[in-house]
Amino acid sequence: MGFPNRSTRRAPHKAGRALRTAHRPHPTLWSLKAGDRCEILAYDQALADKYRIRLMEFGFHPGESVTCVQSLAFGAPKIYRVSNTIFSLDDEVATHVLVKLIDGDG
């Protein structure tokens, strides 16, 4: 009667998110480890426009080079360097940023 239909509620489920990201053709910003460098390729369609716009205001543009500065355990937000500025992003946002890894040699 007064209970919401469980099938229409959306709850964050980290295991489900991991399954969705496993089938992507490119790694995501969240998959980087400390010291990894990458180039931003695009945002996936699941990322809301308000987050996409805000990330671009911060400098996370396609083609931009990003370095993962710190990657802590247990799902803590990761620290990234973009254009000599440091940002902290959690998995809710960083899993939607598609990247291409850059080799450390060049």
**Domains along the chain?**
29-102 (2.30.30.90)
* Beta bridge partners of residue 56, listed in sequence order: none
CB neighbours of residue 29 within 10 Å? 24
Residue 8 has pLDDT above 50, yes or no: no
pLDDT given for residue 103 in this prediction: 82
Query: Which tokens hold the place of 10?
Result: 């959306």
Read off φ and ψ for residue 57, nearest 5 degrees.
-65, -35
Q: What is the pLDDT of residues 49-105, one digit of tens each?
A: 999 999 999 999 999 999 999 998 887 999 999 999 999 999 999 999 999 999 865
pTM over 0.85: no
Residue linked to tokens 């390729």: 41
Could you tell me if 21 and 45 are in contact, meaning their C-beta atoms sit under 8 angstroms apart? Answer: no
Identity of the amino acid at 39: E
Q: What is the pLDDT of residues 18-42, one digit of tens each?
A: 434 445 578 999 999 999 999 999 9
